[in-house]
Structure 1
Amino acid sequence: MPDTEAIRQTIANAEKHQNDLEEFVDLHTADALIVNIAGRRVLGRDAIREAMAHALATPLAKVLTKTEIVDIGFTTPDVALVSCVKRIFDEREESGGLPARGSLTYVVVREGDDWKIAFAQTTPVLS
């Protein structure tokens, strides 16, 4: 199915641009919701931009992630659930005790010819 390749590209771009403020934010819908591995909830593209700009100006910029897609399922032709494994690489001098792995769930929606992230939540995997 061609849509799965476009969705995979959106997720790959989120990983690729995780430290590129505008490129990352543009991958999201206007009212996107992100819940990070620490449980912080950020609602809306403007708030995502603000939170990310703040994080990139701190040692959090040295926390990088890799994403492995496990499954893509469609709830409608224009909405998909993407299940992933997120690997976390904390390169800060003083690690914040983040887990090395999380279960990441995306909800992506079709906007015109593009797939945008409407929801992203990472749940820590502690064992």
Structure 2
Amino acid sequence: MNSTATDVESIKQVVATIEHAQQNELVEEFVDLFRADAIWTTGGGKRLFGRDEIAAFTRQVLPGGMTGLAVTLEVVHVLFIRDDVAAVKVRQVYVSTDGRPSESEGEGTPLFVMSKEDGRWRLVACQNTGVLDQNPH
């Protein structure tokens, strides 16, 4: 495989853009990261097919959805399936705007499958999963 440190940094930038878009409730910035035929499964298990469905859902939940919250996203592992396809494991932590861990949202462990198209990494198939046991052994 010919994946490079530059690819990893580009993938991390996509994840940073997701964080920025969520924290600032920027629907279009978030939606622009997806391929047109992308699949997204929300933390609540709602399955969304295609950028249009993802956009419609995001327009309903994101504005006002971050009131009193901030989210951090950290890339914890990148597995290159091919040079232009990567599975990206992310640690997602919600905190209140005063920095305390959010009791209602807690932590998530999303998986983002991304593809590199025309030199740009895009979200293709994503699963947002909450962590039930906040103190795993």
TM-score category (smaller protein): 0.7 to 0.9
Does residue 52 of structure 2 align to residue 38 of structure 1?
Answer: no
Partner of 1:115: 121
* Contact kept in structure 1, 2:15 and 2:74, CA below 8 Å: no
Q: Which residue of 1 aligns with 2:55?
A: 49
Query: Structure 1 runs of 4+ off > 4 angstroms?
Result: none
State the identity as a percent: 31
Residue 87 of structure 1 pairs with residue 67 of structure 2: no
What is the CA-CA distance between 1:89 and the residue it aligns to? 3.6
Is 2:30 aligned against 1:60? no
- How many pairs were matched up? 121
How far residue 21 of structure 1 moved from its aligned partner, in angstroms, is 1.1
Pick from 70, 76, 93 the counterpart of residue 76 of structure 2.
Answer: 70
Query: What are the ranges of 5 or more consecutive residues in structure 2 without an aligned counterpart?
Result: 98-102
CA distance in structure 2 between the partners assigned to 1:87 and 1:35 by the alignment: 18
Bigger mean CA offset, 110-119 vs 48-57: 48-57
State the alpha-carbon separation in 2 of the partners of residues 17 and 32 from structure 1. 18
Decide whether the 8 Å contact of 1:55 with 1:61 is kept in 2: no
| Alignment partner, residue 100 of structure 2 | none
2:12 is the counterpart of 1:8: yes
Partner amino acid, structure 1, of 2:38? A
Identify unmatched segments of 5+ residues in structure 1. Answer: 92-96
Between the aligned partners of 1:61 and 1:43, the Cα distance in structure 2 is 24
Q: Secondary structure at the match of 2:45?
A: coil
Take 1:102 and 1:34, find their aligned partners in 2: how far apart are those partners? 15
AA paired with 2:19? E
Structure showing the higher strand proportion among its residues: 1
TM-score, normalisation: structure 2: 0.80
Residues 1:40 and 1:89: Cα distance change in structure 2 (over 3 Å): farther
